[in-house]
Structure 1
Amino acid sequence: MSLLEIKSYAAGQWVAPGTGARSFENAVTGEVLGHAGNDALDVEAMLAFARDKGGPALRAMTFHQRAKMLKALAQYLSQHKQALYDLSFNTGATARDHGLDIDGGIATLFVFASKGRREMPDGHVYLDGDVEQMSRSGQFLGHHICTPLQGVAVHINAFNFPVWGMLEKLGPTLLAGVPAIVKPATATCYVTELAVRLMLESGLLPEGALQFVAGGLGDMLDRLTCQDAVSFTGSADTALKLRSNPHLLRESVRFVAEQDSLNASILGPDAEPGTPEFDLFVKEVHREMTVKAGQKCTAIRRIIAPEAHVPAVIEALSARLAKTPIGDPRAEATRMGALVSNGQKRDVLEKAAVIGAEAERVFGDPDAFEVHGADGAKGAFLPPMLFHCADPDKAERIHDTEAFGPVSTVMGYRDLGHAVQIANRGGGSLVASVITHDPAVAREVALGAGAFHGRLYFNDRNSMKESTGHGSPMPHLVHGGPGRAGGGEEMGGVRGVMHYMQRTSIQGSPDMLSAIGNRWVPGAAEVEAPAHPFTRGFDDLAIGETLHAGPREITLADIEHFAEFTGDTFYAHMDEEAAARNPFFPGRVAHGYLLLSFAAGMFVEPNEGPVLANTGLDGLRFMKPVVAGDALNVRLTVKQKTRRTDDYGEVRWHVTLTNQDGEKVAEYELLTMNAYSA
């Protein structure tokens, strides 16, 4: 088999390995698999290519257009994922591991595509929070907007997830409208390169939106500006070195880090042997020790159980580990493949020796274990190694040493407070899990350990069949953690997109805010509708287009009929004396839902037209009671328009109900689905 020559994609060209190229090996055979890297890359040209071509092209697209692009990319990768599987076996990953890395990465793109379409506007400005009134009359307002950084995102990724590690950063970056330069770890860069080639060959990305570096970045970090961002995944030592770069500090370049961490799993005091929770605990720990051969930033490194149950945990976990076949990841029977390289194998053994100074190894001998279908002496194979620390309070290194492989340590706790104390000694982690059927246990751990962990995962017999697992960060939720874990947050839905955008506070009149956000703000100019707005297609409606209707007098007969018809005979509507004793009402008042019904009758166009459906109300408030004899007026204004499908879009209407004195009695937002204009 010829060696792989992994090229970089720089400034629109594929550049072959050159000066400074490094070799990488086949994890299964230990043989050199190929070369990657070129110290002669023109990093300034790469940055310019991203800033001058990729950035403007992406920013010209709306959030929804970028979301559609992400969905199409995910679909294209799905059609070609077998090629990624075939190549990824060389990293030591099994078919099960591919599901986490390759399928998981593609699924993450799908989620960000959905988030972009559902939670972000079909426009260029993201509105953050509510409008703040900063003057008495409401003619001077404040708001927060988010717009894309006008630079480039540099993604530095770890070796263990060559596809997911790239896509979980790339999804929110592209959705924000920022181009990316991806630099994977050399050991597995060949899998990332194939994924990048596929995305570029799809023709879905604008020129300059994505570049790829195999090998080192050279002095690229020294050329970044305040409009750029660095997102890093890897060791705490490397993160510290990068984060401390004087240029990055001087220019206030955004730096997001997701580092190694000593994640813990706590067996609740109620989860005794024989309970579903005990069996679940053993299953979760076993999975985290063996999936990706333990090379996961979220893997369980510290197993915390009640002191009385430690022997049972060791026995059950050892029995399960003993039934885990290790070997060639291509073999269907294999459940744990190789580490990524022999260098990584040596590192894990060194760290295991440090842990072994404070804990006894109770399972897994690295000098005597069986490897199926491969040469265990040449490949980067190790057995799962389980340690037991009899005194976690006196131990130091088990709380600060991570063997990035199939290595975990069991330790006992006296009470739940002690368990939390042990978990927190990791100095900050990406995730801690708690297996318990007692909600009180979950609450105590959340209050005691929440500040030290980026994610708390609770599981029991009720959720175990549907849970995603201790070690699976989901794109909907933040992935990161304090302290040793890096202090950063990735993914988290739209929160992740915000890392690549600038939040800016804006101040001005309602007209100014409406124009900037493309969303009508109360107090802004209204446009008189040339015809009833319900007769006008989605594209014909203008932001601020308004219909006024009314008045309609509310009679006592209306109130009583509505009460009888609906069964809502609450005393405030039916009993004058009782209503008068209520501090909110002057006497009998009209039902709030009666007002909404009358308002609809006042502004609805009954004939068939472009309005397809009323899908709900948002922000409904009743502000002043209405009594018999009052007159009701309604104002209906087009607040925002959002395309949803190829056939229809959502119109958000601002509705205000006033009485005969012009006082607001109710306010809400009406949502309708409208057909596009013919």
Structure 2
Amino acid sequence: MTDTAHPQNDSTPDETRSRLFIGGAARATDETTAIIDPARPSHIVGHAAAASPADVADAVAAAKGAFAQWSALTPQQRADLMTEAVADIAADRDADAALLSRENGKIVAEAWVDALVFELRWRLALTLVDQVDADVVLRPEPGIPVETTVTYQPLGVATVIVPFNRPLAILAASLPYALLAGNTVIVKPPLTAPLATAQLVQRVAERLPAGVLNVVTGPDANMTGLIRNEDVAKVCFTGSVGGGRRMMELAAPTLTRVTLELGGNDAAIVFDDAPLDEEHLDRLFHAVFDSTGQICMNAKRIYVHRSRLDELVAGLSARLDHVVLGDGVDPKTTMGPLHSAEQKRFVDGLIAEAKAAGADVREFGELPGGDLATGNFVRPAIVVEPDAGLRVVTEEQFGPVIPVMAFDDAADAVRLANDSWAALGGSVWTMDAARARRVAGQLVCGYVWINDHGANRLDLRAPFGGLKSSGMGREQGLDGLRDFQDARAVAVLESEVLAG
């Protein structure tokens, strides 16, 4: 067996190994990918099976073969099987979280929430069981002499591709909706952090009919068959804007549908009457710095009324003063490393550029030493009043750094918030309900929070997705369910409407 990644390592005997899961059976591969610890890049957490193009083709064939039987079940029958499949999923949550922390870098508490949200989203999806086949009947009207029934049908085989940062939670924004609608699915876990996802999904798949849920891991070069295959009806991808463009290119020859949940550059607008007490400052702090800033819907830009600028910066600074950088599995750690060395270089570059431009950059915490000295750690930072053209403002940082900019005019704040390539989420901070509703309606994005922000405050029943370069399509809720269905219209002349 050959590793497709070769870091200098100090591997340990407790390394985790994951396999593919295709057609109801686990499958080992000749090659594997070494998964490294972001806190200790010389250490290997485990090895993931590296699927070949033939393995990928087998996964698509298995999903296609299972589709007829799965889609023929009633929604309630599918829901019953899906309920049973996660009946004891919580029993492994601690182990799942520990493994995810080691391969991702995030602190264990956040990894535990990631695993919890998988189950919560799964069970919430099942509450829509009565909507799956909820026909809509259009009665005859003057000039329209037909009665038309609109029905819904599954698409077929769906591929779900998830990123490293919140793989379990993000997976459950689409996977259970796809299955409940009657589709069969292939899950592609993240290349650099696949272990916890592959193992959890396999446990679920083992309790569903063979071929209904499949898992493949491995290098991106071998995965084009998950998209560019006439038997794949839908691809649901979460990742970077560049990755989304690549998905569309791969899907174009076969006209495979895509749902894309891509990057964000969320703006938080903090008005002069904003609540900045301890509770709300805690909310804003977590909205910015959870998962070391590596969440697409984190707040990435703060526009604050000039009268509250110093107060807000002081409030965030007081919290950053207590940040402890370290290994995510260490209970004393409050902020882990960035996931990759490449991302560390990018974020370090944003901070260096801001300093060189004369911006007021305030850094916090201490970089760890010892065996963590080579880890992907970045000191969290606040950049106060940077020039609007700096990359720390215009690009998605995906790290623990936040630009804070003052405004005097509300209309100007909204204009600045909307002046971005991104349109995923945003937030409005004010005690004026009318202002909150008005400004929320002016923000160009897919989701708006009031006096709150971030992934942990998301309504898991509501549709989620972005505009502009932040993506297309919606996940979660009834809209997310319908994204995995096709509508069919059946019409009959009024004079020939059948009885019964």
Task: Say yes or no: TM over 0.5.
Answer: yes
- Are the equivalent residues in 1 in contact too, given 2:360–2:386 (CA < 8 A)? no
Match of 2:484 among 485, 500, 512: 500
Q: How does 1:571-650 map to 2 (within 5 A)?
A: none
Match of 1:440 among 397, 411, 434: 434
- Are the equivalent residues in 2 in contact too, given 1:325–1:336 (CA < 8 A)? yes
Match of 1:385 among 378, 381, 388: 381
TM-fit CA distance, 1:4? 3.4
- Are the equivalent residues in 2 in contact too, given 1:292–1:337 (CA < 8 A)? yes
Residue in 1 aligned with 2:397?
A: 403
Task: Deviation per CA, 1:606-637: give whole Å up to 9, x if none.
Answer: xxxxxxxxxxxxxxxxxxxxxxxxxxxxxxxx
User: Which amino acid in 1 is paired with 2:385?
Assistant: C
TM-fit CA distance, 1:226? 7.6
Report whether the alignment pairs 1:23 with 2:34: yes
Report whether the alignment pairs 1:249 with 2:252: yes
Q: How does 1:125-140 map to 2 (within 5 A)?
A: 125-127=133-135, 129-134=136-141, 140=146
Residue in 2 aligned with 1:490?
A: 475
TM-fit CA distance, 1:222? 5.7
- Are the equivalent residues in 2 in contact too, given 1:298–1:430 (CA < 8 A)? yes
1:475 alignment partner, SS class: coil
TM-fit CA distance, 1:506? 1.8
Change in 2 beyond 3 A, CA 1:448/1:135: closer
Task: Deviation per CA, 1:489-537: give whole Å up to 9, x if none.
Answer: 111x12111111111222115799xxxxxxxxxx652xxxxxxxxxxxx
TM-fit CA distance, 1:242? 1.8
Instruction: Name the CA distance, whole Å, in 1 between partners of 2:346 and 2:28.
Output: 30
Residue in 1 aligned with 2:3?
A: none
Moved more, 75-84 or 475-484: 75-84
Report whether the alignment pairs 1:371 with 2:368: yes
User: Which amino acid in 2 is paired with 1:267?
Assistant: V
Query: Structure 1 regions of 5+ residues with no counterpart?
Result: 460-466, 513-522, 526-543, 545-678
Of structures 1 and 2, the one with the larger relative CO (CA 8 A, separation 6+) is 2
Match of 1:238 among 238, 243, 246: 243
2:469 alignment partner, SS class: helix
Change in 2 beyond 3 A, CA 1:13/1:283: same
TM-fit CA distance, 1:335? 1.9
Residue in 1 aligned with 2:344?
A: 345
Residue in 2 aligned with 1:564?
A: none
Q: How does 1:207-356 map to 2 (within 5 A)?
A: 207-216=210-219, 217-221=222-226, 223-225=228-230, 228-245=233-250, 248-271=251-274, 276-277=275-276, 279-354=278-353, 356=355
Residue in 1 aligned with 2:113?
A: 100
- Are the equivalent residues in 1 in contact too, given 2:168–2:197 (CA < 8 A)? yes
Moved more, 107-116 or 351-360: 351-360
2:324 alignment partner, SS class: coil
Residue in 1 aligned with 2:9?
A: none
Instruction: Name the CA distance, whole Å, in 1 between partners of 2:24 and 2:495.
Output: 43
User: Which amino acid in 2 is paired with 1:167?
Assistant: A
Task: Deviation per CA, 1:108-137: give whole Å up to 9, x if none.
Answer: 001111222xx426xxx342x44242567x
Report whether the alignment pairs 1:173 with 2:178: yes
TM-fit CA distance, 1:104? 1.0
Task: Deviation per CA, 1:202-223: give whole Å up to 9, x if none.
Answer: x2x1111111111134330464
1:310 alignment partner, SS class: helix
- Are the equivalent residues in 2 in contact too, given 1:17–1:35 (CA < 8 A)? no
- Are the equivalent residues in 1 in contact too, given 2:34–2:47 (CA < 8 A)? yes
Change in 2 beyond 3 A, CA 1:376/1:361: farther
Instruction: Name the CA distance, whole Å, in 2 between partners of 1:334 and 1:84.
Output: 19
Residue in 2 aligned with 1:473?
A: 458
Residue in 2 aligned with 1:77?
A: 89
2:268 alignment partner, SS class: strand
Runs of at least 4 residues of structure 1 off by over 6 A?
A: none
Q: How many pairs does the alignment contain? A: 483
Change in 2 beyond 3 A, CA 1:264/1:359: farther
Change in 2 beyond 3 A, CA 1:343/1:17: farther
Match of 1:190 among 192, 195, 207: 195
User: Which amino acid in 1 is paired with 2:128?
Assistant: K
Change in 2 beyond 3 A, CA 1:144/1:284: same
TM-fit CA distance, 1:396? 5.2
Instruction: Name the CA distance, whole Å, in 1 between partners of 2:29 and 2:366.
Output: 38
Instruction: Name the CA distance, whole Å, in 2 between partners of 1:511 and 1:378.
Output: 78
Change in 2 beyond 3 A, CA 1:52/1:226: closer
TM-fit CA distance, 1:174? 0.5
- Are the equivalent residues in 2 in contact too, given 1:342–1:380 (CA < 8 A)? yes
- Are the equivalent residues in 1 in contact too, given 2:423–2:446 (CA < 8 A)? yes
| RMSD, aligned α-carbons | 2.6
Match of 1:33 among 41, 45, 67: 45
Query: Structure 2 regions of 5+ residues with no counterpart?
Result: 1-11
What TM-score does the superposition give when structure 1 sets the normalisation length? 0.67
Change in 2 beyond 3 A, CA 1:358/1:495: farther
- Are the equivalent residues in 2 in contact too, given 1:269–1:416 (CA < 8 A)? no
1:340 alignment partner, SS class: coil
Change in 2 beyond 3 A, CA 1:488/1:355: farther
Change in 2 beyond 3 A, CA 1:183/1:511: farther
1:437 alignment partner, SS class: coil
Report whether the alignment pairs 1:200 with 2:205: yes
Instruction: Name the CA distance, whole Å, in 2 between partners of 1:181 and 1:133.
Output: 42
Instruction: Tell me which structure has the larger Cα radius of gyration.
Output: 1
Instruction: Name the CA distance, whole Å, in 1 between partners of 2:346 and 2:358.
Output: 18
- Are the equivalent residues in 1 in contact too, given 2:367–2:373 (CA < 8 A)? no
